[in-house]
């Protein structure tokens, strides 16, 4: 009987934990030790590069302060309708 109670309490606790943390989960754009870069030319697209390594063409770093960190964050949404041209200017796509 005690075992059943302990199992029920553990299940209830896990359910509560999942309910409180499940909605706050935010998927990172890149894995740890990486940063995102954007493709030049307004074609959209991004890639992740290891910290300390410069992006390879056609990718460039996002402008400072406008780097997406999580899926659907402010900058991830912004870059869906904007890009970078060959002169590093922000353009609408």
Under 8 Å between Cβ of 53 and 61: no
How large is the average pLDDT for residues 18-29?
Answer: 72
Residue 24 backbone phi and psi in degrees, to 5? -100, 5
DSSP one-letter code for 63: P
| pLDDT of 74 strictly over 80 | yes
Report the C-alpha gap between 18 and 34 in whole angstroms: 28
**Of 14 and 66, which is predicted with more confidence?**
66
pLDDT at 16 (0 to 100): 52
Within 13 A of 58's CA, how many CA atoms are on the CB side? 13
Residue with more model confidence, 49 or 3 = 49
pLDDT-wise least confident of 9-23, 49-63, 77-91: 9-23
């Amino acid at each position: 009987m005690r075992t059943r109670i302990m199992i029920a309490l553990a299940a209830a606790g896990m359910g509560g934990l999942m309910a409180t943390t499940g909605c706050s989960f935010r998927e990172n754009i890149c894995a740890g030790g990486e940063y995102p870069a954007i493709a030049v030319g307004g074609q959209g697209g991004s890639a992740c590069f290891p910290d300390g390594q410069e992006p390879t063409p056609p990718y460039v770093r996002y402008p400072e302060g406008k780097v997406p960190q999580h899926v659907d964050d402010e900058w991830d949404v912004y870059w869906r309708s904007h890009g970078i041209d060959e002169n590093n200017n922000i353009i609408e796509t």
